[in-house]
Amino acid sequence: AVSKLNGCILSTFGDMMRVPGSKQSLYHAQAEGANISIVYSPMDALKLARENREKNVIFFATGFETTSPSVAGTLLVAEKSGVDNFYIYSAHKIVPPALKALLDSPDLKIDGFILPGHVSTIIGSRPYEFIASEYKIASVITGFEANDILQGILMLLDQIASGRADVEIQYTRVVKKEGNQKAVSLINDYFEPCDANWRGIGVIPNSGLKLRENFRIRDITQTIDLEITDSEEPKGCQCGQVLRGVKIPTDCRLFGKACTPEHPVGACMVSTEGSCAAYYKYSGVIR
pLDDT digits (tens, 9 = 90+) for 232-263: 677 888 888 888 888 899 999 999 999 998 88
pLDDT of residue 103: 92
pLDDT of residue 239: 87
Q: Using pLDDT thresholds of 50, 70 and 90, give the confidence band for residue 286.
A: very low
Point out which residues pair with 36 in neighbouring strands: 10
Q: Using pLDDT thresholds of 50, 70 and 90, give the confidence band for residue 268.
A: confident
d(CA 207, CA 70): 19
pLDDT of residue 225: 74
Who has greater pLDDT, 200 or 2?
200
Evaluate whether 59 touches 30 at the Cβ level (below 8 Å).
no
pLDDT of residue 229: 65
Q: What is the pLDDT of residues 95-142, one digit of tens each?
A: 999 999 989 988 777 899 999 999 999 999 999 999 999 999 999 999
| Average pLDDT value over all residues in the chain | 90
pTM across the whole model: 0.86
Q: CA 234, 239, 244, 246 torsion: positive or negative?
A: positive
Phi then psi dihedrals of residue 167, to 5 deg: -110, 100
> Which of 52, 57, 127 is closest to 88 using CA atoms?
57
pLDDT at 231 exceeding the cut of 90 = no
Task: Give me the mean pLDDT over the 169-175 stretch.
Answer: 97
Evaluate whether 249 touches 255 at the Cβ level (below 8 Å).
yes
